[in-house]
Chain A
Amino acid sequence: NAGVTQTPKFRVLKTGQSMTLLCAQDMNHEYMYWYRQDPGMGLRLIHYSVGEGTTAKGEVPDGYNVSRLKKQNFLLGLESAAPSQTSVYFCASGGVIQYFGAGTRLSVL
């Protein structure tokens, strides 16, 4: 049972570089989510999707873009990384109950 798989697990970027985080789920869920986790702040919702081809902004969407071209995949993009985007990023799928991936640890220097 893979559940929710995130790649990569770790990444170091320089300021201004771009990257894409990939999330894949095998539970046939309509809803998918991207969160960031910072010390002492819990998880904050960046963007989410209610189905293939749809995306919506969450609590902290600035500086990020997302795409949901296939139901099982949800991509998070950083076009021009900033040090403030250093964080741990989690993808989740589900709805009322959400299931999380293991996270991507991103450092922006």
Chain B
Amino acid sequence: GQQLNQSPQSMFIQEGEDVSMNCTSSSIFNTWLWYKQDPGEGPVLLIALYKAGELTSNGRLTAQFGITRKDSFLNISASIPSDVGIYFCAGQGDYKLSFGAGTTVTVRA
């Protein structure tokens, strides 16, 4: 499978902060997806991006499909405690997904 490089690997958030994470690939994808996984659950789709250059928002979440089709980023604005979890990027090609290793978001004590 394709290898996606997702960064950062982990981050700590304080309520109200804006956070960013990104994903890069050596291959081109037709679609970029961002999922969130809560403990003990399966990944849940947050945002889907279908076109190079596309910028899409879903509430406090904003994601962009890179112009080269090899990267994507996700921003979370004004973070709240329920934003903790693992965020995964995924690139789609031929109806198969390749996943990044995930960004673990935890609350700063």
Which residues does A use to contact B, with CB under 8 Å? 4, 31, 33, 40-45, 48, 50, 58-59, 90, 92, 95-103
Contact = CB atoms under 8 A, between A and B. Distances in A.
Contacts of A96: 30-31, 48, 92, 95
Contacts of A44: 1, 99
B107 interface: no
Interface of B: 1, 4, 6, 9, 30-31, 33, 35, 40-45, 48, 88, 92, 95-97, 99-102
A24 to B, nearest CB: 14
Given A42-B101, A45-B1, A58-B1, A102 B96 contact: no
Contacts, number: 56
A42 B100 contact: yes
Contact of A98 (B6, B9, B30, B97): B97
Contacts of A90: 42-43
A45 B42 CA distance: 15
6 contacts: A42-B6, A90-B43, A97-B31, A99-B45, A103-B41, A103-B42
Nearest to B104: A40
A97 B48 contact: yes
Q: Most A CB atoms within 10 A — which of B6, B45, B95, B100? A: B95
Nearest to B4: A42
Contacts of B95: 31, 50, 95-96
A30 to B, nearest CB: 9
B99 A43 contact: yes
B40 A102 contact: yes
Given A58-B1, A59-B1, A96-B31, A43 B96 contact: no
A31 B6 CA distance: 26
Given A42-B88, A43-B88, A97 B1 contact: no
A103 B41 CA distance: 7
Q: Most A CB atoms within 10 A — which of B6, B42, B92, B95? A: B42
Given A48-B96, A96-B31, A97-B33, A102 B1 contact: no
